[in-house]
Amino acid sequence: MSIFTQNVNPITGITVWEERDPNYDYYQEIARAAFADMLHDHERNHKYYLALKAAIDKKHEAGEQAHVLDIGTGTGLLSMMAAKCGADIITACETFRPMAECAKKIIEKNKLEKQIQLIYKRSTKIVINGFSPLLTDADDLPRKANILVTEVFDTELIGEGALSTFKHALDFLLEDDPVVVPSCGTIWVQIVDSPTVRNWNRVNPVNSVTSGETLIEVPEVAQSCSGASAVHDIQLSQLPQDSFTPLTDPIPIFKFDWTGSSSLDYNEHVVLPIKTLTEGTAHAVFMWWHLDMDMDSKIQLSCAPVWAHPDVQKEIKDGKPYKELADKIPWRDHWMQAVYYFPNDLNVTPSEEVLLVASHDEYSFWYSLEKKKKGIENFKRPMCECCIHLAFSRTRIGQLNDVSRNDKYLKAISKKVTPDTVCLVISDSSLLGLSIAKMGIKKLYILESNPLSQKTVKLFIEKNGLTEIVSVIESADDLPPPSEITLIFAEPFHVTSILPWDNFYHWYLASKYPASIPRIPQRAVMKAVAMEFKDLHKIRAPLGICEGFDLTIFDELVQSSSLRADSPVEAQPLWEYPGRALSNVFTLADVNFCSKAEEHAKIESSCQVPIVVDGSCNGIAIWVDWHLDDEICVSSGPVEEIVPGSRVSWDWYSRQGVHLLSNITQVSNKNVVVSAFAFNAREGLFEFSFNVK
């Protein structure tokens, strides 16, 4: 029996009822729990194993039994490692029941069920025998453990509740003087000058291509806004070496002792006097962390970006480029690095001492850089006051600041506008759309149906004195009549869009108007290329045998759930994920926006694309080229021509579509990619199929 869910199609804007498997939510939850990329992390696995062995040996050498408590066991990998290392008692807990049931089967398949007790609970709900009316002998610990192993870390280290997890375990579940794996974690920060990175956080004015004059000024509230409080997780090693200037060396700012030797505080506030290495403008803090895996700090795991990673320091000193060395350090999508933006840009010099202010609560961090001590004791978490950071992703803010992209749009617009132009803008908070109002036109209508986007664009309208010439339309039902409009413009961008082609939404609204009305863009071409990703495929790749243990049950669970719940194409910022092209670029569809969407029953294509260079084909990258007119094109894909066999350079300010192949294939020029594509334009539905033969 099926169930029906109500969803809004982002392309058509129409609410539809979709037939789903009755266990859709269950499958989606399991698919979202996929953490195969973490289990592909051999360094992580190996160092956990070494630290566990050291912990168990330490207890045995002291004449004690080794009783291991594994919190958040997931697949059961760490518990099975503990068994391999000779632990006497192993208790594993996992609160996510589908994963706990999977772990049970994995443990049984590896014939370790007699050595590992599995508790289907959150660790904070576990009680020691005799201390709870809810106790059942089969569920809880008979006595306290003397070794704790857990991996409850995220990009911010503490974002998954690590502080409360360790604190509760130390207070209630562990003996005095336990061995804890890992034993401590250290937060490292580095202050940088980087207009490139700043572009993801602070909106810049829009300037004219020809005269250079400012077309759209930024409201004061946006210029001084602290920005979003949420961390910006990013693969810092993929930033070009010339895109930032370090103003300090890496600085250890917080240390968390997981062993209980010193207190674990949920709230800390640090003020650190520093002098910068060079003159510059402090825009942001780069952050990462490292773990001391064992009690003696001999086994260490670092999440540092390439220039600060301990494994490549000799090569860094020898002057080797970051891009070359990035391939030598472990890749992690589960533990990236992070960027935190200062509430205000601060000019610094080596001769002047400044104060780095750092704070954290139970789950997150925030930072500021000040020249005076006054008021810093009341430094609070940054909160967005301008609405821009609430309305838009950081990718979109970066897109707003992309001068090259903006110039192309402004050139195309300038060809169309006259003093009699009445323009309809169909994009969310389009500063380029507002720029048209500064080009001497008669009237501009801008559709803003999203409340946050609407609030944002009204700020810009008021700041730039455009209240008389610009009318904000709050619903697609209230669009002006066709007789009034002489130009239709879209960037295109909509806050509901995830994949590049979700932005076709403007086409459906523009289809209410005669095809004779000029429009920008005129058409969209969907393109694709066969790829060999260096690491990205690991987020979906099966594990098989992992560190000597059979985890195929986990593979089967996640992959079967993903087939039921996931789209075959997902959005990824591919500039963060190195990969080289194995084929030439091929076209999936060419969509003419001057036609009406309802006139197209289905747009289909099929082809066999030859593989040009040898490699491992593990994915297909898909993007959209927006043809503004017959001469100007803006791509959401590559920023340079794709050359088979070479690394692809992707647009920083767009997410591309990626189809990751379930079967990774070694290919040569004897192979082809068989592509089948269908776009039901009337219903706004896409179908993709890619196979390697």
* Secondary structure string (H, E, C) spanning 36-91: HHHHCCHHHHHHHHHHHHHHHHHHHHCCCCCEEEEECCCCCHHHHHHHHCCCCEEE
Task: Give the residue from 59, 69, 36 showing the smallest Cα distance to 165.
Answer: 69
Contact 637, 524 (CB under 8 A): no
Q: Hey, what are 214's tokens?
A: 């400012």
Taking the C-alpha atoms of residue 478 and residue 473, their distance in angstroms, rounded to an integer, is: 7
- Buried b vs exposed e over 332-345: b needs ≥16 C-beta within 10 Å? bbbbbbbbbbbbeb
Residue 583, strand partner residues? 611
CA distances from 309 to 42, 62, 237, 396, 663 (A): 17, 35, 10, 30, 33
Q: How many CB atoms within 10 Å of residue 670? A: 9
Give the CA radius of gyration of the chain.
28
- Buried b vs exposed e over 80-104: b needs ≥16 C-beta within 10 Å? bbbbbbebebbbbbbbbebbbebbb
Contact 95, 160 (CB under 8 A): no
CA distances from 642 to 15, 360, 439, 491, 648 (A): 38, 44, 36, 24, 6
To the nearest 10°, report the CA torsion of 234, 237, 239, 245.
110
Q: Are strands 280-292 and 337-348 parallel, antiparallel or unpaired?
A: antiparallel
Concatenated DSSP letters of 230-294: S-EEE-GGGS-GGG-EESS--EEEEEEETTSSS---S-EEEEEEE--SS-EEEEEEEEEEEEE-S
Kindly list the catalytic residues: 151, 160
Concatenated DSSP letters of 425-485: E-STT-HHHHHHTTSS-SEEEEE--SHHHHHHHHHHHHHTT-TTTEEEE--GGGPPPGGG-
Task: Give the residue from 103, 37, 85 showing the smallest Cα distance to 550.
Answer: 103
Contact 561, 27 (CB under 8 A): yes
